Amino acid sequence: MEMKKLLTAICVMLFICLVPAAATPAATAAAVFVGAIDYDGLTLQVYYNNNAIVYYSTDKKTWTELEGMYDIATSSCTMDISWLSAKSDQTLYFKGDVVTTIKAVTLPAQNTSFRVTFNAVEEEFTFDNAEEADSFEWRKASDYAWREVDMDETSASYAAFMGTVEKFRVKGASIIIRLPQVKGTGNSNVGRRPSKEYSVKIAARAAAPNIKVNSLKLTVNTTSAMEYYNPVTKLWVECDSTMSLEEIAPKALYAKGGSNVTLKIRKAATASVTYSKTATVTIPGQSAPPSLGGSSADCTYYYLNSKLILQFNSASTANAYQYVIVKAGSSFNEASASWKTVTSSKILTISSSTAPAGATVYIRKKGTDAANGAEVVLSSAVNSFKVAY
């Protein structure tokens, strides 16, 4: 008997929840009205306004009783609108069973002309047919979490978005962009559907250039298709073909301080491709020139029987020196000179025809290029003396 009473009570409660008509006095009824319109959730809220039943129609000829999720507290029903086409404006008509005044609400068509262009060179997005929006939404092609961004390029959200796009340039990615919905609040403010989704491909940056420093010629293997970063002006500067350290990293040279210099070099953007990833190269400061003089100096020289005697006192395979003899009237170019390498402290005897009076002998400690994990070591600054028998 107790179980029978319990089942009866439950049935009565369910009847009250599902059939709002039972608690509605007809004398207080008014025309039904539309509330919240959610285009993401594809739902529309209709208030009964003390009508027992609400009907809806798409043509005011055929009427169907409204069904959906009924909320007793607000006396409203949330109906599904996913069956309505988004390709054109759609009008729904509502009326009550007591107050039959017809209320119409027109749901707008989706913006299908929305377009997005990403200029990979300028790193800029252009939004076409988006005049009605002050923000956009984006998501990765592989997820469904929409993130809203202000259209104002000076806003914090736009800056954060561009920062994320920059991260995508490492491996490349596809993102989906749309204009967000504007929720409707009723018959007089129906809001706006989210626009058509537009796919944008964010291409990965090209690999960084393979930068090498020539320790003997004191040059960097740049090309005119590259650019380097100037930390003083904070600008990227176009490179020339095979630049000298005097041009691109003067502070690394002994005469300009001999300090370590970090170079940042990348392939410059073209009309169709953005700039590449950046190569970072550290150029060590150039060492002082070898000393000239007695046996304690790096290089000793004297004359014997009209011959030049030359000796590099600490030269070895691991500590090589170089010299070049330039005759009077000829110019000296460190990068193109025909340097001779010395790898022992053995005395060198040089004839007067090779080293005539008035010639200049230039000496330096030989540098080494980066190889097998070892860092580059620049050839030292140059010292010199004139031949005088």
The encoded tokens of residue 305 equal 């029987």
Answer yes or no: is 53 within a domain: yes
Answer yes or no: is 127 within a domain: yes
pLDDT of residue 373: 80
Answer yes or no: is 5 within a domain: no
pLDDT of residue 288: 98
Q: What's 103's domain CATH number? A: 2.60.40
pLDDT of residue 94: 98
123 and 102 in one domain? no
Asked if 95 and 54 count as a contact pair (C-beta separation under 8 A), the reply is yes
Residue where a domain terminates, one of 167, 202, 237: 202
Residue where a domain terminates, one of 283, 311, 331: 283
319 and 251 in one domain? no
Q: Where are the beta strands (DSSP E) in 208-260?
A: 213-214, 219-220, 226-230, 235-238, 243-244
Strands of the sheet with 261-267, listed across from one edge: 235-238, 226-230, 261-267, 279-283
pLDDT of residue 22: 41
SS3 72: coil
Sign of torsion, CA 157 161 162 166? positive
132 and 88 in one domain? no
377 and 342 in one domain? yes
Instruction: Tell me the residue range of the domain where 346 lies.
Output: 299-386
Answer yes or no: is 3 within a domain: no
pLDDT of residue 27: 63
Q: Name the H helices within 178-313.
A: 245-248
Asked if 71 and 61 count as a contact pair (C-beta separation under 8 A), the reply is no
224 and 176 in one domain? no
Q: Kindly list the distances between the CA atom of residue 328 and the CA atoms of 205, 382, 384, in Å, as whole numbers in the listed order.
A: 52, 18, 13
Give the count of domains, the chain: 4
366 and 304 in one domain? yes
132 and 100 in one domain? no
Q: How far apart (Å, rounded) are the C-alpha atoms in residues 335 and 214?
A: 10
Answer yes or no: is 25 within a domain: yes
128 and 164 in one domain? yes
Answer yes or no: is 122 within a domain: yes
Asked if 48 and 70 count as a contact pair (C-beta separation under 8 A), the reply is no
Asked if 318 and 292 count as a contact pair (C-beta separation under 8 A), the reply is no
**Consecutive 10-residue runs of the chain (389 residues): their mean pLDDT?**
39 36 62 97 97 97 96 96 97 98 97 94 93 96 94 97 94 96 95 97 94 96 97 95 96 97 95 91 97 92 96 97 97 96 97 97 96 91 97
Answer yes or no: is 7 within a domain: no
The encoded tokens of residue 320 equal 């090589």
Residue where a domain terminates, one of 169, 202, 235: 202
134 and 80 in one domain? no
67 and 143 in one domain? no
Answer yes or no: is 6 within a domain: no
